[in-house]
Structure 1
Amino acid sequence: MRRLALLFLFSPISLAAEFSVEAAADVAWVQTSNDAPWMQSWIREGTGITRYDPHSDGLVLSQAMLEAQIDFDNPWQLQATAYYYPDGQKHLGFTEAALTFQPLTSGVKHKVRVGAFYPNFGFENPKPGWQSPYTYTFSAINSWIAEEVRAIGGEWQITVPGKLYHSNHTLSFVSSVFGANDGAGTLLSWRGWALHNRQTLLGERVAFADYPGITGPIELQPNWVEPFIETDNRVGYYLGGHWRHRRNTEVRLYRYDNRADPFAVNDEGQYAWHTKFWTVSAKHLLNRQWRILAQWMDGSTVMGDSKGVNVDFDAWYVLTSYKHHQHRFSLRYDDFKTVDTDQNPVDINDSHGKAWTFAWRYQASQHIEVALEYLYASSWNANRMSTAQLGHQGFDWPQQGSRNQWQLVLSGIY
């Protein structure tokens, strides 16, 4: 990270600020193998649940990130994060841009954010650019949040430090109102859960496979979604609570509801999806070297009436991580499913799966990191049905598939 002290002069006052930049780029050698050669990546409009497939094998530029931050002398902070990706519909753009107000006090603390930002649902992605220090491939939960969830609005957090009452327990309460997240739930319903590190850029369209339920007798929606759009002029909200015991145990509980009108549709055929969920996450530091992370999410999403799309979803993961000097070893297990609850026999959205991820990361220097990651993902998706099963033109593909994915990653950090 590079910092630069700036002084802006405005008569009759002066405003001092510190400008900092962090940049990072990941280059990976990718090798995949799978029991279903037809199952190409979802990002190439296939039905696979990983970012890479045999078409990607070899040397790839995974991502490049630039995060800029201005800290003023007063309690204001301006932050923006931009990414470059070689894949997807849009290659360069912002993932977050927010203004934060956080006055320094010795008592109850307040923090207000306004802009476009990630809610602090969990503990997996604390690094700049919403990256993870544990694995390069996010959990299924946070892969979906990276795809379809962003708060474009405001957030207010109140923290009551335990030291105020000579207690080891610190409590925080979070509330937010937001808009432009009406597309959340689209990918989760038709494709199901996925595992990757591809964050959707603001204003980006995300394409997915021409699933039989979309291109069948009743066309429900084009096979792409723009997650961060406003369709029905209704605001959503989330509420959360944080509990921390000393510095080694923390739990977060959130309720999210975008309050979208499932009957609203724009001129491009993009529906508003009424998506709501509970999520709880925990982090426990066993000692200076070992830690455990866990998260669970349970919710539903609805588009249209009973013959539209109505899906319940559920996922959880457990991650353990060990750090020894410059080495970090992490192991994560994911379990995930979606359950179709609507009355549309053409569009069947049941799916389930599991995944194991192991990563070794070595901080070779201040600016260089080397890593090796292995991912095994197995999934069953009813939307991969055959023509005979569906009754009209389908994929003629098996519903069950698995993939092994290796990544040897070289990261440059500035």
Structure 2
Amino acid sequence: MSDNPTAARRSAIYLLDQILGEGRLLSECLAAGALDRLDPEDRARAQRLTLETLRGLERADRLVGNHLNRTPALTVHNALRLGAVELCHGAAAHGVVNSMVEIVGRSRKHGRLKGLVNAVLRKVAAEGPEAWPKMRVPRLPEWLRDPLVMAWGDETVKGMEQAHFAGAPLDLTVKSGAAMSVGDLLPTGSVRIIDAGQVSALPGYASGDWWVQDAAAALPVRVLAPKAGERILDLCAAPGGKTLQIAAAGAEVTALDISQGRIERVRENLERTGLTAQVVVGDALEHQGQYDAILLDAPCSATGTIRRHPDLPFAKDGSEFGELIELQAQMLSHAWSLLKPGGRLVYCTCSLLPDEGEVQIEDAVQQHSDMQVDRNALDVPGVEEGWITEEGGLRLRPDYWPDRGGMDGFYIARLNKSA
């Protein structure tokens, strides 16, 4: 443990201010250098504290709110929330309370409230650890919960919320021929590690034997079934897990993404794993060429990734849904024009919303007379019959595999083009 946990806590409070006050995603804050001044241990601790607080925010607010007459300024509120979560996760009360009092006390704007922080957190320390496990699993905000309940039903959404609250283990895709000495093999072929710790310290990292990729995110390429020598386009490729899978199969893959910054991660992953691909920065709607197969991992609400990204429900409000759904339809139509006759295209989104998955495929099949949904392509190891949808796609949800640690929400469909 770091000798200076206060630095990590102060940074976590800043991240919570950005996410809950400014609507910024954690990934945006990190890309902007929010934790660059911390050493690696404190950086990891700050991220972990931020994620734990967001997952338990509803419970923390209830515990803290019992001892407040009015809601304090956001920074002070977030210090109380973070402190409550740490106390209820078993951290020593003396260290947590003193640290939060110090952080708030040093603030020019909020220093006068350090007495409030001290009093509230001491009360939470006395009652919180016993009350915490008896409280309900935190719920999604209404803007997201309501459409999900409409699509899947209340009990299913409660299962998703349980998976979100539990967080996510680390999943790896291992190169063919490489051996992993840690983790458990999942039915779909991914390797899962509980409490992995520092990723770069795991065996096989430096030698490029594997890459991080949620088990659900690894399935689209398995459904695509790339073959050696095929010319394949990976649209919206960053951070590159699917590109690596296609390249490892021996295909000639073009990895395209509109973000210069994100495409660098693709290049880094290719270099570490010793795989090759043509990497292109560009707009998927303007790209030209003819391909044997195409993978379109379309921009989406990312609502299927909340177990790994609990900041998402707080940083967004659903106002972008309509725009994203329209963009997905445009991308699918353009990608179809780049596919050779007799070729195949896998459309996927890491979304829990049918409008970004099942409905898109139903509409696309009506618009393209040479498009057929290939249900047989879903016959890959580990895929269960109950995951296959009426129109022939694959619906994955966080509440699947509850005894194994869940999976990301995903929709996947393979589309064949008439010869």
Compare the two structures and name the one with the higher strand fraction.
1
The question of a shared fold, defined as TM-score above 0.5 by the shorter chain, is answered with no
Compare the two structures and name the one with the higher helix fraction.
2
- TM-score by length of structure 2 reads 0.24
Structure showing greater Rg: 2
- TM-score by length of structure 1 reads 0.24
